[in-house]
Amino acid sequence: MIVSLTVDGVRREAEVAAATSLLRVLREDLGVTSVKDACEQGECGSCTVWLDGALVNACLVPALQADGADVRTAASLANGSLHVVQEAFLDAGAVQCGYCTPGFLVAAADLLERVPHPTDEEVREALAGNLCRCTGYRKILDAVRLAEERAS
């Protein structure tokens, strides 16, 4: 079956089998490498994308369910220059191996779009679906606060 979706503003199509996940279509069929493949069980957040404006783990979404949808990835944040969240992650030293970074960027940008001045609890809750194997999360939390400050 053919799935048609808009990825980061560009209309794309792919032929998929019934059991194919949105993650597989994005990475393997469409070459979108900013969506990472780590656990494929919805536990790590590396594949977090916006699907019609809502955050989802692309590994848990059947590709057929995304037919006709608008998908935004971490790559959509940069528009000729780095997004404030991307700059903050770099400046705060919140990027180590980088594998979890796209999911954290999407989650942080989504939070700050919805809640420009979140509480510490709201920041932790927004990032809770993302796992990092390299850090203790302090620099990631600092990066969200830095992005908040710069966006004000």
The mean-pLDDT minimum among 26-30, 73-77, 130-134 falls in 130-134
CB 6 within 8 A of CB 69: yes
> Containing domain of residue 11, as a range?
2-75
Whether the Cβ atoms of residue 130 and residue 103 lie closer than 8 Å to each other: yes
Same domain, 6 and 71: yes
Number of domains in the chain: 2
Domain with 100 in it: what CATH number?
1.10.150.120
pLDDT in tens, 51-69: 999 999 999 999 999 999 9
Kind plus residue range of the DSSP H or E element containing 63 = none
Q: pTM higher than 0.75 for the full model?
A: yes
% of the chain at pLDDT higher than 70? 100
Same domain, 52 and 89: no
Are residue 94 and residue 70 in the same domain, yes or no?
A: no
Contact assessment for residue 110 and residue 49, using Cβ atoms and an 8 Å cutoff: no
pLDDT value for 136: 76
